[in-house]
Structure 1
């Protein structure tokens, strides 16, 4: 992937960030926090420290520009990066290129923690499998950063409450900050796809400072694109958090001869299912419904639950085996999404399904890749070639987890005791 950083903008918002950090330096004391939760009666607020960005994530060029402007600002400014992933599709919201750049920045002095958010939307065995897989690469923590939408089908992970997970993560960050004994604050950058829950993660952390009351330090919303500029939230004299706009991380172009239009359509469908596109940027929602049906059809139980969600007993294929049209026709009739003369409005029905998917009313998740028999971990190198890291990566994970005092938290048996809320109410 090319490194075409735009150096033309001498008025880069990074200057404001550096000026802010320098101005605060005189205020920082060297008191040992020892990982304690601060008692601060002042309401935590976010301060905008960059220009507002309006990004069309469907465009690779626009995504690349956002990547260069936002991610690299956060990378330069942060000591620790929290990389927020959607628990329903961690691989889809993860970029090996991003991880490689973090690892190589500042002579390897940056720290990276993967945050698996929205864990209440996946069952306990799937959560445990993802934690096992991701911890082969980097320290990974599970998190419930916010309450689910109404009528969402959620799972109860018992000890993984909003308070428990966010308070533990905050203590880990504060412990790391105190251990460095710097005469400045530790900066924690929060990155991830749009609508993956970055601002909710920060609000969950800062709510622990406000005696458990809900924090609104960063604005949040169900749709992508709420955060449009870089924001700084001061936690205390030792810790500050940078909230960034969501970034659709650039991917390498396909080389299988697909047409540009087809690649763009499939790219947009994937972004829709990742909840990374605001409705205003969705041109055609039907390919996303096709992709959703394809994914859920690999699990008979999830496919059956999808049909039950809309009171559909069976689907009849149209031309060339197309079941998407019949599905949307039935959804349109069930939900009253009809046009003139009672004709089903397929686009409106598709948007209703997309909203249900976004809010967790439709159950669905991906399974982690099968781990190889050997202990080798493979990452993507600068040239795009697979690079085997093996024992070195295992050592990094172990050392970093120790720095944040994450060892022993949420053990292998911890995620196995959960049940679905639906089961509890049955």
Structure 2
């Protein structure tokens, strides 16, 4: 029973219709005003993006970029497979008969298709599905990943890209690195006539392996050629770059290269003679002149090796862009993180030159002293060194704090670089406060400056360390290794038996000079003081 004095809370139908009519009239008025407004407005709402203070912003952005890269690589693989299948069908298509049976051209059935048709005729759908899957698998293995890397193919086809099976290696484990080194390097060494050894200009000796150089010199009775490519030269000053070129040219022909544009907000140096166009054109011209001088009936293979994320794929894209009149090339996928290239890629430049892009591997170093205090400590130091060499993707980094401690130790050797590092993050001073160390104090201040805070405002040291590692990888932090200098000794020092740094032998100098003449590198960039004669 409804009380006589109670009032219902339901909205009357008359009032509800009145509100709907007013809303419709308001929308019509807004649409009419929008037509007269000269400023264009999109109907789609703009994505506000991820806030800068969000603690997992870098991780989310990395996942998005990884998905885009995988999607682009899958699309490229499907396009290559379709292209090769189309070219194969055009070659295998029978000619039309003289009686006028043109409609049957190109419809010859393979054995797999005949089996599929027979299964369909018997009325067994599972058998038809199985036969179809087997036929597609055989077709994919032939066209996609089963291509022989040593096969030259048709000489008149230009710009082809072929991909081998994928590759995975755990660079944190030295044993796995050794196996990956033996597997990938031997494939590239057997297939290539010229080896481009890509080094990071910030730490050339850290990304260089003498064992690799010895194997290249000894391979195939010494017929292989090795060129050192000093990449990322825009991240070091001119005097440091010239010093490293002068030092490396005592051992092998060395070409400075700026393969790609730097990351955003990267602190770079401008080198007037070492531009992207000048260096890439010089390297491509040297390779083509060597291929022409050999006068072989097959194409010259150029293998590109180096540490992960040292810029091997960018070197290939820089070379192919010179053929496209400066238009940016995407022959090989690139990224700011290590591990983008997961397979051997063959990029055909022309009928006389093809380039092999290899996945980045950590070259194993010979361990002379096995009596190490702790295996865990050795693995942590190994991982920290790989992180500073940008050889580990973020997903494989277990603890980035030792890498930051190693970076601070290296930066402290130069007061100017150390002050620039503190100024970059707005850190005034460092000290072992609260019974901690300098690295912890540095990460605490970076976490507060960059908003890497956890629950309750507690600084997230791992997130702050990853921020420092990302800035180091992208060149936002300046840092490099000074080139070694050969000390000139006088007669008194020689008589006293003083230790003198020994340079390359006379045979090594002769080899360097002959190889430089083969590639027409003699006399290039005299400002770098070419001392290989």
- TM-score category by the smaller chain? 0.7 to 0.9
Q: Within 5 A, what are the aligned runs for 1:169-318?
A: 169-253=283-367, 255=369, 257-318=372-433
Q: 1 CA distance for matches of 2:321 and 2:160?
A: 11
> Relative to total residues, which structure has the larger helix share, 1 or 2?
2
Report what 1:364 is aligned to: 479
SS in 2 for 1:155: coil
Following TM superposition, by how much is the alpha carbon of 1:411 offset from its aligned partner in structure 2, in angstroms? 1.2
Q: 2 CA distance for matches of 1:411 and 1:103?
A: 27
Q: 1 CA distance for matches of 2:188 and 2:488?
A: 36
More deviation, 253-262/388-397: 253-262
Q: Within 5 A, what are the aligned runs for 1:73-88?
A: 73-88=187-202
1:391 aligns with 2:506: yes
1:130-175 alpha-carbon deviations (Å, 9 max, x no partner): 0000001000000000000001000000121111100110000000
1:334 aligns with 2:334: no
1:149 aligns with 2:248: no
1:19-50 alpha-carbon deviations (Å, 9 max, x no partner): 454452xx448xxxxxxxxxx9x7x352103x
1:401-421 alpha-carbon deviations (Å, 9 max, x no partner): 000000111113589xxxxxx
Report what 1:325 is aligned to: 440
Find the structure with the greater CA-based Rg.
2
Q: 2 CA distance for matches of 1:20 and 1:253?
A: 33
Find 1:54's aligned residue among 157, 164, 168: 168
Q: 2 CA distance for matches of 1:81 and 1:168?
A: 16
1:69 aligns with 2:188: no
1 or 2 for the larger relative contact order (CA 8 Å, sep ≥6)?
1
1:163 aligns with 2:277: yes
Q: How many residues align?
A: 375
**Structure 2 length-normalised TM:** 0.68
Q: 2 CA distance for matches of 1:198 and 1:215?
A: 14
Q: 2 CA distance for matches of 1:182 and 1:28?
A: 13
Find 2:235's aligned residue among 101, 108, 121: 121
Q: 2 CA distance for matches of 1:103 and 1:237?
A: 27
Q: 2 CA distance for matches of 1:222 and 1:272?
A: 13
User: Where in structure 2 are there 5+ consecutive unaligned residues?
Assistant: 1-144, 490-500
Superposed CA RMSD in Å reads 2.2
Q: 1 CA distance for matches of 2:365 and 2:487?
A: 25
Q: 2 CA distance for matches of 1:373 and 1:238?
A: 45
Aligned partners of 1:233 and 1:242 also within 8 Å: yes
Aligned partners of 1:28 and 1:183 also within 8 Å: no
1:69-108 alpha-carbon deviations (Å, 9 max, x no partner): 1111000100000000000000100000000000000000
SS in 1 for 2:517: helix
**Structure 1 length-normalised TM:** 0.84
Aligned partners of 1:45 and 1:218 also within 8 Å: no
User: Where in structure 1 are there 5+ consecutive unaligned residues?
Assistant: 1-14, 30-39, 375-385, 416-426
Aligned partners of 2:342 and 2:359 also within 8 Å: yes
Q: 1 CA distance for matches of 2:308 and 2:236?
A: 20
Following TM superposition, by how much is the alpha carbon of 1:367 offset from its aligned partner in structure 2, in angstroms? 1.0
SS in 2 for 1:395: helix
1:402 aligns with 2:508: no
CA pair 104-117 structure 1, distance change in 2 beyond 3 A: same
